[in-house]
Protein backbone atom coordinates (compact mmCIF):
# COMPACT_ATOMS: atom_id res chain seq x y z
CA UNK A 1 0.00 0.00 0.00
CA UNK A 2 3.06 2.30 -0.33
CA UNK A 3 2.21 5.12 -2.84
CA UNK A 4 4.39 5.27 -5.95
CA UNK A 5 4.12 9.00 -6.87
CA UNK A 6 6.26 11.58 -5.04
CA UNK A 7 3.34 13.75 -3.78
CA UNK A 8 1.63 10.54 -2.74
CA UNK A 9 4.69 9.49 -0.78
CA UNK A 10 4.99 12.87 0.94
CA UNK A 11 1.32 12.77 1.84
CA UNK A 12 1.71 9.23 3.13
CA UNK A 13 4.76 10.25 5.18
CA UNK A 14 2.98 13.23 6.73
CA UNK A 15 -0.03 11.09 7.64
CA UNK A 16 2.24 8.47 9.18
CA UNK A 17 4.13 11.09 11.22
CA UNK A 18 0.89 12.65 12.44
CA UNK A 19 -0.35 9.22 13.48
CA UNK A 20 2.88 8.42 15.33
CA UNK A 21 2.79 11.81 17.09
CA UNK A 22 -0.80 11.16 18.19
CA UNK A 23 0.12 7.72 19.56
CA UNK A 24 3.18 9.15 21.36
CA UNK A 25 1.08 11.93 22.93
CA UNK A 26 -1.61 9.49 23.98
CA UNK A 27 0.98 7.15 25.53
CA UNK A 28 2.68 10.05 27.31
CA UNK A 29 -0.62 11.15 28.80
CA UNK A 30 -1.52 7.62 29.82
CA UNK A 31 1.82 7.30 31.60
CA UNK A 32 1.10 10.44 33.57
CA UNK A 33 3.09 12.96 31.55
CA UNK A 34 2.40 16.67 31.86
CA UNK A 35 1.21 16.42 35.44
CA UNK A 36 -2.01 14.70 34.37
CA UNK A 37 -1.33 11.69 36.52
CA UNK A 38 -4.07 12.53 39.00
CA UNK A 39 -6.71 12.71 36.27
CA UNK A 40 -5.72 9.38 34.73
CA UNK A 41 -5.38 7.60 38.04
CA UNK A 42 -8.75 8.76 39.30
CA UNK A 43 -10.33 6.58 36.63
CA UNK A 44 -8.58 3.36 37.72
CA UNK A 45 -10.71 0.68 39.33
CA UNK A 46 -14.39 -0.15 39.37
CA UNK A 47 -16.92 -2.92 39.80
CA UNK A 48 -16.16 -6.55 38.97
CA UNK A 49 -17.95 -9.89 39.21
CA UNK A 50 -15.57 -12.84 39.35
CA UNK A 51 -15.02 -16.23 40.98
CA UNK A 52 -12.35 -16.81 43.63
CA UNK A 53 -9.90 -19.72 43.77
CA UNK A 54 -12.26 -21.70 46.01
CA UNK A 55 -15.05 -21.40 43.43
CA UNK A 56 -17.02 -18.74 45.32
CA UNK A 57 -18.52 -15.85 43.30
CA UNK A 58 -17.15 -12.50 44.48
CA UNK A 59 -17.63 -8.86 43.57
CA UNK A 60 -15.63 -5.73 44.38
CA UNK A 61 -18.26 -4.99 47.06
CA UNK A 62 -17.04 -7.98 49.08
CA UNK A 63 -13.77 -6.11 49.70
CA UNK A 64 -15.25 -2.84 50.96
CA UNK A 65 -13.69 -1.83 54.25
CA UNK A 66 -10.43 -3.50 53.26
CA UNK A 67 -7.49 -2.44 51.12
CA UNK A 68 -7.02 -4.44 47.92
CA UNK A 69 -3.52 -4.94 46.48
CA UNK A 70 -4.34 -6.05 42.94
CA UNK A 71 -2.26 -7.50 40.14
CA UNK A 72 -3.52 -8.71 36.75
CA UNK A 73 -1.62 -11.48 34.93
CA UNK A 74 -1.74 -15.18 34.07
CA UNK A 75 -0.36 -18.33 35.67
CA UNK A 76 1.57 -19.43 32.55
CA UNK A 77 3.58 -16.19 32.60
CA UNK A 78 7.26 -17.13 32.56
CA UNK A 79 8.73 -14.19 34.43
CA UNK A 80 6.99 -10.86 35.01
CA UNK A 81 3.87 -12.16 36.79
CA UNK A 82 5.65 -14.45 39.27
CA UNK A 83 8.18 -11.71 40.01
CA UNK A 84 5.46 -9.10 40.58
CA UNK A 85 3.37 -11.42 42.75
CA UNK A 86 6.42 -12.37 44.82
CA UNK A 87 7.32 -8.70 45.31
CA UNK A 88 3.74 -7.98 46.33
CA UNK A 89 3.72 -10.87 48.81
CA UNK A 90 7.19 -10.18 50.28
CA UNK A 91 6.32 -6.47 50.59
CA UNK A 92 3.21 -7.38 52.55
CA UNK A 93 5.25 -9.71 54.77
CA UNK A 94 7.80 -6.96 55.42
CA UNK A 95 4.93 -4.65 56.39
CA UNK A 96 3.58 -7.36 58.67
CA UNK A 97 6.82 -7.27 60.67
CA UNK A 98 6.67 -3.50 61.13
CA UNK A 99 2.96 -2.81 61.35
CA UNK A 100 0.90 -6.00 61.58
CA UNK A 101 -2.41 -4.13 61.91
CA UNK A 102 -1.72 -2.41 58.58
CA UNK A 103 -0.71 -5.63 56.82
CA UNK A 104 -3.85 -7.33 58.10
CA UNK A 105 -5.98 -4.63 56.45
CA UNK A 106 -4.59 -5.46 52.99
CA UNK A 107 -5.85 -8.33 50.81
CA UNK A 108 -3.47 -9.39 48.03
CA UNK A 109 -5.44 -10.25 44.89
CA UNK A 110 -4.37 -11.85 41.62
CA UNK A 111 -6.80 -11.49 38.71
CA UNK A 112 -6.20 -13.57 35.59
CA UNK A 113 -6.37 -12.20 32.07
CA UNK A 114 -6.24 -15.79 30.75
CA UNK A 115 -9.40 -17.47 32.09
CA UNK A 116 -9.30 -20.07 29.29
CA UNK A 117 -6.41 -21.78 31.07
CA UNK A 118 -6.64 -20.22 34.53
CA UNK A 119 -9.71 -21.93 35.91
CA UNK A 120 -10.53 -22.12 39.63
CA UNK A 121 -8.26 -25.12 40.16
CA UNK A 122 -5.29 -23.56 38.36
CA UNK A 123 -5.71 -20.35 40.37
CA UNK A 124 -5.90 -22.29 43.66
CA UNK A 125 -2.66 -24.13 42.90
CA UNK A 126 -0.94 -20.91 41.90
CA UNK A 127 -1.75 -18.27 44.52
CA UNK A 128 -0.76 -20.55 47.41
CA UNK A 129 2.85 -20.31 46.26
CA UNK A 130 2.94 -16.61 46.98
CA UNK A 131 0.96 -15.70 50.09
CA UNK A 132 -1.40 -17.60 52.37
CA UNK A 133 -3.97 -14.81 52.15
CA UNK A 134 -3.66 -14.17 48.42
CA UNK A 135 -6.97 -14.46 46.57
CA UNK A 136 -7.00 -15.66 42.96
CA UNK A 137 -9.85 -14.38 40.79
CA UNK A 138 -11.03 -15.81 37.49
CA UNK A 139 -14.33 -15.99 35.60
CA UNK A 140 -15.67 -16.03 32.08
CA UNK A 141 -13.65 -14.23 29.43
CA UNK A 142 -16.30 -11.49 29.44
CA UNK A 143 -15.98 -11.09 33.21
CA UNK A 144 -12.18 -10.92 33.36
CA UNK A 145 -12.12 -8.61 30.33
CA UNK A 146 -14.59 -6.28 32.04
CA UNK A 147 -12.50 -6.28 35.23
CA UNK A 148 -9.29 -5.54 33.30
CA UNK A 149 -11.05 -2.70 31.52
CA UNK A 150 -12.10 -1.11 34.82
CA UNK A 151 -8.45 -1.12 35.88
CA UNK A 152 -7.20 0.14 32.50
CA UNK A 153 -5.24 -3.09 32.13
CA UNK A 154 -4.22 -3.89 28.57
CA UNK A 155 -3.83 -7.53 27.50
CA UNK A 156 -3.63 -9.49 24.27
CA UNK A 157 -3.00 -13.05 23.25
CA UNK A 158 0.30 -13.75 21.47
CA UNK A 159 0.16 -17.07 19.60
CA UNK A 160 3.45 -18.88 19.09
CA UNK A 161 4.20 -21.75 16.78
CA UNK A 162 5.52 -24.51 19.04
CA UNK A 163 7.25 -27.81 18.25
CA UNK A 164 5.62 -29.85 15.47
CA UNK A 165 3.19 -27.07 14.67
CA UNK A 166 1.59 -27.18 18.11
CA UNK A 167 0.12 -23.80 18.97
CA UNK A 168 0.94 -22.18 22.24
CA UNK A 169 0.25 -18.71 23.47
CA UNK A 170 1.35 -16.12 25.95
CA UNK A 171 -0.55 -13.09 27.18
CA UNK A 172 1.01 -9.72 26.63
CA UNK A 173 -0.26 -7.48 29.43
CA UNK A 174 0.37 -4.31 31.39
CA UNK A 175 1.96 -4.88 34.74
CA UNK A 176 0.98 -2.64 37.64
CA UNK A 177 0.28 -3.45 41.26
CA UNK A 178 -2.70 -1.34 42.35
CA UNK A 179 -3.47 -0.38 45.92
CA UNK A 180 -7.19 0.33 46.26
CA UNK A 181 -8.68 1.87 49.40
CA UNK A 182 -11.47 0.61 51.71
CA UNK A 183 -13.93 2.60 49.59
CA UNK A 184 -12.74 0.79 46.45
CA UNK A 185 -10.98 3.85 45.09
CA UNK A 186 -7.48 4.03 43.71
CA UNK A 187 -4.81 4.94 46.28
CA UNK A 188 -1.49 4.34 44.53
CA UNK A 189 0.31 1.83 42.38
CA UNK A 190 3.65 0.08 42.15
CA UNK A 191 5.33 -1.21 39.01
CA UNK A 192 6.62 -4.73 38.40
CA UNK A 193 10.08 -3.24 38.88
CA UNK A 194 9.32 -1.90 42.35
CA UNK A 195 11.38 -3.49 45.10
CA UNK A 196 10.02 -5.33 48.13
CA UNK A 197 11.16 -2.38 50.27
CA UNK A 198 9.35 0.12 48.03
CA UNK A 199 6.13 -1.86 48.30
CA UNK A 200 6.47 -2.25 52.09
CA UNK A 201 7.24 1.45 52.53
CA UNK A 202 4.45 2.56 50.17
CA UNK A 203 1.91 0.41 52.00
CA UNK A 204 3.09 1.59 55.42
CA UNK A 205 2.64 5.19 54.36
CA UNK A 206 -0.77 4.79 52.70
CA UNK A 207 -2.64 2.14 54.68
CA UNK A 208 -4.62 3.59 57.59
CA UNK A 209 -6.65 0.81 59.16
NI1 LIG B 1 2.91 -11.78 33.07
Tens digit of each residue's pLDDT (9 = 90 or more) over 104-126: 999 999 999 999 999 999 999 99
From the number of C-beta atoms within 10 Å of its C-beta (0-12, 13-18, 19+), residue 127 rates as: buried
Cα 114 from Cα 123, distance rounded (Å): 11
Q: State in Å: Cα 194 to ligand 1 middle.
A: 15
User: Is 15 a residue whose pLDDT tops 70?
Assistant: no
For the chain, give the number of residues: 209
Look at residues 100, 109, 94 and name the one whose alpha carbon lies nearest to residue 195: 94
Quick one: what percent of the chain has pLDDT higher than 90?
A: 75
User: What are the pLDDT digits (tens) for 56-76?
Assistant: 999 999 999 999 999 999 999
The pLDDT, as a whole number, for residue 31 is 47
Residues in the 5 Å CB sphere of ion ligand 1: 73, 77, 80-81
Q: State in Å: Cα 90 to ligand 1 middle.
A: 18
User: What are the pLDDT digits (tens) for 149-207?
Assistant: 999 999 999 998 776 666 789 999 999 999 999 999 999 999 989 999 999 999 999 99
CA-based Rg of the chain, rounded to a whole angstrom? 20
Q: State in Å: Cα 15 to ligand 1 middle.
A: 34
Strand 167-173 relative to strand 176-180, pairing: unpaired
Look at residues 152, 118, 156 and name the one whose alpha carbon lies nearest to residue 137: 118
Q: State in Å: Cα 6 to ligand 1 middle.
A: 45
User: What are the pLDDT digits (tens) for 132-149?
Assistant: 999 999 999 999 999 999
Q: State in Å: Cα 155 to ligand 1 middle.
A: 10
Beta bridge partners of 158: 170
Q: State in Å: Cα 120 to ligand 1 middle.
A: 18
Amino acid sequence: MFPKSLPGRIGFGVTLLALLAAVALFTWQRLGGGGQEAIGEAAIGGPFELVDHTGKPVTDQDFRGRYMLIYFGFTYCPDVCPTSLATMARGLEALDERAPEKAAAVTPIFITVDPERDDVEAMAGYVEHFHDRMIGLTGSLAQTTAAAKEYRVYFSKVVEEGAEGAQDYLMDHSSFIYLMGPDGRYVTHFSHQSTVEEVAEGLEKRVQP
